[in-house]
Structures are given as C-alpha cells and as structure tokens.
Structure 1
Amino acid sequence: MNELIEAGKVHCANCATPLEGEFCHHCGQSMHSVLKPVHHMLEDGMDMFLHVDGRILHTVPPLLTRPGFLTMEYFSGRRQRYVAPFRLMFVLCLLAFFAMHLAVNRVMEGQGVNLADAQHVDEDAFADARTPQEVRAQLAEQLDGLAVSRRVTPAVAHPALDTSERQLRAMADKRLVALGAAPLAPGAAPVPAASVRTPAKPSDKASGPTHVESKLAGKKIEFAWLPAFVNERMNTYVQRTLANLKELSNRDPAVRQTARDRLTTGVFSVLPQAMVVMIPLFALLLKLFYFFRRRLYMEHLIVALHSHAFLFLALLLATLLGMLAGWLRPHAAWAGHGVNYLQTAVLLWMPAYLLVMQKRVYRQGWPMTLLKYWCVGWCYFWLLGIVLTVAAVMGAGH
C-alpha cells in the first residue's frame, strides 16, 4: 500500500510563516518574486491596469445613477470590487476642477474677458497731458496696445476693439480742443509715442509686487495672539493679492492677461484642498442632525465621501457637456442645444440625487428627510461659502 506523504509547505520569504495562498496571512507579502523576465512584468502591469479599470466600471455607473448604492454596499462589507471612497472622491475632485479650469481659460481667452478688455477705456487717459504733443503721444501708445490686442485675440473681439479705438480718438480730440489745438483728422495716425518724451506714470510701470510692498511699508497687519510666522505669511498674501489686483487695471493687455492667469491658476490650485476640508465638516453636520440614529462618525464620513464624489462626477460631466455644446454650436446648432438640455438634466439631478441618497441611507420618512435635507443643505451652503472665500483669497495671493 502506498503511503501518503505531506508535500513540503512554502514559507514566506519575509517572516518565514507557512503560506496557504499567494499572500502571507501574517505580513501580507506576495509569494511571487519581483525578479522576473520583462515579459512577465508587462503581463502583471496589464493585469493591474485591467483590475483597476474593472473596479472603475463597477463604481462609476452606480455612483452616477443609483443614489446610496455604493454607501450601502460599503456598509455591508462588499468593498473589494469598488474603488475606495476617499480615492474615488479625490480623483474625481481633481478631474472636475481640472476640467473647470480649462473651461474658464477657454472663456477668458475667447469672448468674455477679451470683450471686457477691448471695452476697457480709462476715462482719464489724457487728463495729465499738458500739451497737444503729449496727447498725440499718449494716443499713439494706446493705439499700439490695441494693435497688440488685435493680434492676440480672436476675430469676435475685433468690433469691440474698434469701438475702443473710436472712444480713445474722441477723448483725445476733446483734450486737444481743451488745450486750444485742432482735433485729429478722421483716420489720421497720431505722432508716435517714441518721438515725444512724456513723463512716465508710476502706476503704469511699477505695478508689480515691489511697488506695492513699498507703499505698504510700515503698515503691516499684526495680530499679537498669532505666531510671528503666521503674521508674516498673512502679510505676504496681502501684498501679493494687492499686486495682482493692481495689475488687473494696468493699461497693457499683456500685463492684465498675465495677472488674470495668475489669479485663476492660484484659485483653482487651492480649491481641491478646500473641498477636502468640507468633507469632514459635512460629515459632522450629518452626525449632528442624525445624532439619535446611533451611527458612528466614520459612517457619516463614508456618506460624505460618496456624496462629494457624485457631485464632482456630475460637475465634471456638466463641464465637459458645456464645452462640447460650445464646440458644436457653430457647426450644428441643433446638436449644441441637445447637449445643453443634457447638461441641464445633469445639474438638476444633483440635488435630487442627494435627497434620494439621504432617504435610502438613513431610512427615515419623507417629511423628516426633507426637513433634515433642507437644514443640512442650508448649513452646508454657508460653510461652503466661507471656505471658498478663504480659498479664493489664498489663491489670489499666489
């Protein structure tokens, strides 16, 4: 009779624990060696990518269409096939604000800001001119700036630039008449600015942070109850913010554009951190309003993570649909309007989703759910306004 001999067990290379599977139950290390041929590494990489992609496919559709489903699955212990709540929220937050940043830049580089720049004419542009030669020199400088704007802006802004040029010429003629000189002939080019030496304006040349710091010398903000480094940091933000805001009113279009880009980039760089701050605050609100439901704070935190993950996903979709509608409208207006309706549906689904999710997770009647939904939303609205205001101020100081 043949004897049954127990096969030798494989031990973990890290802690020498006998292995019962592909991973050590004591330290978690894999039994597979990292020293393998390149083609095996490529196979492992593809397997990892497909596994993550599979979890995304199992996570995103119910997140968008089934309120509260992922949260209830997480509470039930079925978590392996879904992306972790914090990772899901954080990735969608970054993607949403990245898309919104692109959309804002597209609007600023397109119609909205360029038209505003084109129509920005200083009413006192020639008030400091004391001679007709200075008026003509300043007009030439202003027209040179408009010429630069025509080269860097799309054709949609050119009519507004023409309006600005007519306004500048009318103001120059008015100043010339006040100085006792003949107005410019229609369409005549003024004397180039380089041919007349005019006194430089400090506000036009010294619009950077150095000029602002010199004006604020001796006027720093100090709070005795704050550490010195906090006061110093706060004053730095104030100086940078004033410098950026000052450059927004500069006559040079390039300086204004640079200041706008700096402000926009600074604000969007701090928005993700601000929203991360909002999540524990939202969970605290849920804990307070559902205090008698005897749920742990961690459960409310999971609800907050999934709620914000959905909001960021909806904002991402709405932003992408808005950009798609803007691209389709010149080519196929009917398709652009259809995409706009879809964008509106996504925006309307956001508050309805949160209401249904709150009802399914906390399992209270509709009257109490509606009351708590309104109270939580009202408190969250004001907290969000405060946090976003602080974030905007910090971003403006970049």
Structure 2
Amino acid sequence: MKQLTSYEGLRCANCGAAMQGEFCHECGQSIHSVLKPMHHMVEETVETVLHIDSRIVHTLPPLLLKPGFLTLEYFAGRRMRYIAPFRLMFVLCLLSFFVFHLAIDQVADKIPANGRPLVSVDSSAIAAAASPAEVRKALQDELDGLQRARDTGVLPPNVLEQARVGEQELRQAANRRLAVLGAAPMPAASLAAPPAAATVNITGDTKPRDALPKATKGESKPVQIAWLPDAVNARLTALAQQAYRNWRTFKHGDPAASAEAKQRMINGVFSALPPTMFVMIPAFAILLKLFYIFRRRLYMEHLIVALHSHAFMFLSLLLVTLVGMLSTWLRPHAAWAGSTLGWLQAALILWLPAYLLLMQKRVYHQGWPMTLLKFWFVGWCYVWLLMFALMVAAALGMAH
C-alpha cells in the first residue's frame, strides 16, 4: 500500500510555488533530487525497461493480428498500455530497413559487380605448363595476382572465403601437373590453407582502384530547370554528376571499383529510404482525408491511422525478411523446415493487403462495397506515390 506523504510547507526549488504533490503544479518540476545513490538509479532504470517491455507485449501482437484495434483504442483514450503511434512506427521503420539492408547485402555479394566475377581462379596456364619450372612460375603468377588484389579492401567476406578455396585448388592443380611431369610435389606446407588475409583473384589485370576507363571521365549534362533557383539547379547538377560517375564505375570500372560503387549506391538508397517513408505517411493521411471527407474526422485521426498502417507494414517487412533469411539458411540442412518457412513467408505477404482492408473497414465503419471501392482507389494512388518516392530515394542513393 502506498504511503501518504504530506507536502505542507514545501516549495518548488525552480519557481517557489507551494508543493501539493510530487510534481509542481506551476512548472512541472519533480520534488525529488536527481542526485541519488547509484542503486536508486539502477532500480529506476530497471523499472523503466520493464514498463517499456510490458507496452511492447501489449502493442505488437494486436498490431500484427488485430486490424484497427490499436487505432480504435487510441481514439477511445486508452493509450497508456501501448507504445505511441509515431514511436512505434519510427522504431519499426529503422529496424525493418536495417534487417532488409542486411538481406540485400547478402544477395548483392553473390552478384558480379559488372558481369565479371570477383573470384576467377584460372588454372589453364598451370595445366598447359611443359616443365616443372613453368608450373611453378604459372602458380606464382596466380598467387601474385591474389596478393595484388588483396590491397583493394572492398571484398565481402563470402568472396574472401571463395578466394581461400580457390587458392587451395590452384596449389592442388600445380601438384597434379608436377606429378604428371614426374617432378617432386610441392611441400605439404604450401598446400595448407592460406591465412584469412589472403584474398581474391580479380578478373583481368589488377590495376589500381582509381584506374577507370575513359568513359568515366565524362560528365552528365548540367541540370537547367527554368523555374528553379540557380542554387537548386547547381545542387541537382552535382547529384546527377555523382550518380553518373557511380553508375559508370559500376558498369565499366575494374571489378574492385565496381563492387565499391555498387555497395556505395546500396548504402545510399537505404540511407534515403527512412526519410522518404516519413514523407509518405502524411501523404497517405491526406489521401484518407480526401476519400473520407464526409466522415467529418480530423486530419490527426487520419494521421494516426496512417502511422499504425505503416507500423504494421514495417513489421510485416521485418518478419518477411527474417523468415526469408531463416528459410534460405535452413533449406540446405532441413528442406522441410525451409519449405514450411516459405509458406509462412507467403502467408505474411498475403496478410498485408487483407489486414489493411480490414483495418479500413473497422476504423471508418462503412459498408463493404464502399470500403472496397475506397480501398482500391486509395491503394492505387498510394502505390503511384510510393513508386515516385522510391525512384527519388534510388536517385539520391545513386548520387551517394
């Protein structure tokens, strides 16, 4: 049972008002000092964390499984048990894009940067050698190429692992050729796995990273839009030229520079996506306001619907990405588990439009024919706005 405390005679240290409770009714300052023993601070921290955890438990399951429930609770004034809409959307947005970025990086690392593989172990010169000396020279040339490529510093971990295996294959091919020629094999120490620092043989000659073809020396045409200020045109020109250089490097540069340009553009796109989505939320609320103008609802109500809708979409993106990554990892080891997760991923994708339709029906309380019609029009307009926003984010990302 909480003890009753008398605050008679106490005054606020900030404004001097007579205290009637733990907080000043004039300025809101607490009567408690911030200078506390360490164990009190630890107790308050634990209490805060547990409080947040309890709100997560009350928020995430309804967000995923009960369309419109959180929005209606918020409208009814029952808000303390749940995470605030903007905070919920913000955290899920950053978390989902972070995980999606990791998944894209894993896929991008397996794709050749400009049509030429980052790892290319060529043992034809070793197989064609006519003497033991030529075998050793061909092997040394390949290993020297690996060592020169090591200095690029832009090769992903999976490529480094492929390079380690490729170097072992080269050494084994050299030993097989030496055996055919009747020469003594190379020492066993030479066949040991090379250290992790040894990297990849880059296709083609190993020229410096800044050595680009002449095509990259060109620049895109200046941007001149008559109704825009000169400063804006100059900024657009700089972005266009940087995007042009990134793209030319990606398409025509040496593999190391191409891989670096590809990663730079991917990072730029994902850095531009969260701000882009924050712009889409009020735009989606405006669409709801226009299509439900006769429902006499405030714009803030539509904004809450938009925040919860996007929070659900980000949560769905997060779950779909995690399930997909787990399915890819499990499929080679347990095919049945990978297939099951694949079906779960498909169910999550199908649940996305069904959830948004049910949410719109339960929040705005209209009949099914009108709800379906407005859902189709709102979705059609939003998809076009989203495509435009994603193209802007992609353009900004390419100019990173």
TM-score (norm 2): 0.75
Deviations 1:226-267 (A, max 9, x none): 222211211111111011101112352211110110010000
**Structure 1 residues 100 and 236: CA distance shift in structure 2, 3 A:** same
8 Å Cα contact 1:207/1:243 also seen in 2: no
**Structure 1 residues 193 and 221: CA distance shift in structure 2, 3 A:** closer
Deviations 1:43-71 (A, max 9, x none): 11111111112211111111111111111
Matches of 2:328 and 2:91, distance apart in 1: 26
Q: State the Cα distance separating 1:74 from its structure 2 match.
A: 0.8
**Structure 1 residues 362 and 113: CA distance shift in structure 2, 3 A:** farther
What is the root-mean-square deviation in Å for CA atoms of aligned residues?
3.4
Matches of 2:50 and 2:232, distance apart in 1: 47
Aligned counterpart, 1:225: 227
Match of 1:118, SS? Answer: coil
Aligned counterpart, 1:83: 83
Alignment of 1:3-42 (within 5 A): 8-42=8-42
8 Å Cα contact 1:107/1:113 also seen in 2: no
8 Å Cα contact 2:361/2:371 also seen in 1: yes
Aligned counterpart, 1:129: none
8 Å Cα contact 2:118/2:256 also seen in 1: no
Aligned counterpart, 2:126: none
- Which letter does structure 2 place at the counterpart of 1:313? L
Aligned counterpart, 2:211: 205
Match of 2:227, SS? Answer: coil
8 Å Cα contact 1:322/1:343 also seen in 2: yes
Deviations 1:116-163 (A, max 9, x none): 543999xxxxxxxxxxxxxxxxxx99x958x9699936559x99xx9x
Aligned counterpart, 1:168: none
Matches of 2:9 and 2:365, distance apart in 1: 50
Alignment of 1:170-209 (within 5 A): 205-206=211-212
Aligned counterpart, 2:305: 303
How many equivalent residue pairs? 332
Matches of 1:293 and 1:16, distance apart in 2: 48
Match of 2:228, SS? Answer: coil
Match of 2:41, SS? Answer: helix
Match of 1:21, SS? Answer: coil
Q: State the Cα distance separating 1:76 from its structure 2 match.
A: 0.9
Alignment of 1:259-298 (within 5 A): 259-298=261-300
Aligned counterpart, 2:183: none
Matches of 2:210 and 2:16, distance apart in 1: 74
Alignment of 1:13-162 (within 5 A): 13-109=13-109, 111-113=110-112, 116-118=115-117, 152=159, 155=162
Matches of 1:29 and 1:350, distance apart in 2: 45
**Structure 1 residues 372 and 319: CA distance shift in structure 2, 3 A:** same
- Which letter does structure 2 place at the counterpart of 1:18? A
8 Å Cα contact 1:114/1:153 also seen in 2: no
Aligned counterpart, 1:173: none
Q: State the Cα distance separating 1:31 from its structure 2 match.
A: 2.0
Q: Any gaps of 5 or more consecutive residues in structure 1? A: 1-5, 122-139, 163-191, 195-199
Q: Percent identity?
A: 55
**Structure 1 residues 301 and 207: CA distance shift in structure 2, 3 A:** farther
- Which letter does structure 2 place at the counterpart of 1:118? P
Q: State the Cα distance separating 1:225 from its structure 2 match.
A: 2.4
Q: State the Cα distance separating 1:7 from its structure 2 match.
A: 7.0
- Which letter does structure 1 place at the counterpart of 2:41? M
Matches of 1:251 and 1:237, distance apart in 2: 20
Q: Any gaps of 5 or more consecutive residues in structure 2? A: 1-5, 121-140, 150-154, 170-203
Deviations 1:315-359 (A, max 9, x none): 001101111111111211111111111111111111000000000
8 Å Cα contact 2:118/2:159 also seen in 1: no
Aligned counterpart, 2:200: none
Deviations 1:289-333 (A, max 9, x none): 000000011100000000000000010011011111111112111
**Structure 1 residues 257 and 10: CA distance shift in structure 2, 3 A:** same
Q: State the Cα distance separating 1:24 from its structure 2 match.
A: 2.5
Matches of 2:345 and 2:114, distance apart in 1: 26
- Which letter does structure 2 place at the counterpart of 1:37? P
Aligned with 1:333 (options 326, 335, 339): 335
- Which letter does structure 2 place at the counterpart of 1:348? L
**Structure 1 residues 28 and 113: CA distance shift in structure 2, 3 A:** farther
- Which letter does structure 2 place at the counterpart of 1:380? Y
- Which letter does structure 1 place at the counterpart of 2:17? T
- Which letter does structure 1 place at the counterpart of 2:37? P
**Structure 1 residues 389 and 309: CA distance shift in structure 2, 3 A:** same
**Structure 1 residues 28 and 151: CA distance shift in structure 2, 3 A:** closer
- Which letter does structure 2 place at the counterpart of 1:260? K
8 Å Cα contact 2:8/2:20 also seen in 1: no
Matches of 1:39 and 1:337, distance apart in 2: 50
Q: State the Cα distance separating 1:383 from its structure 2 match.
A: 0.6
Deviations 1:71-94 (A, max 9, x none): 111111111121111111011000
Match of 1:15, SS? Answer: coil
TM-score (norm 1): 0.75
Aligned with 2:218 (options 197, 215, 223): 215
**Structure 1 residues 313 and 7: CA distance shift in structure 2, 3 A:** closer
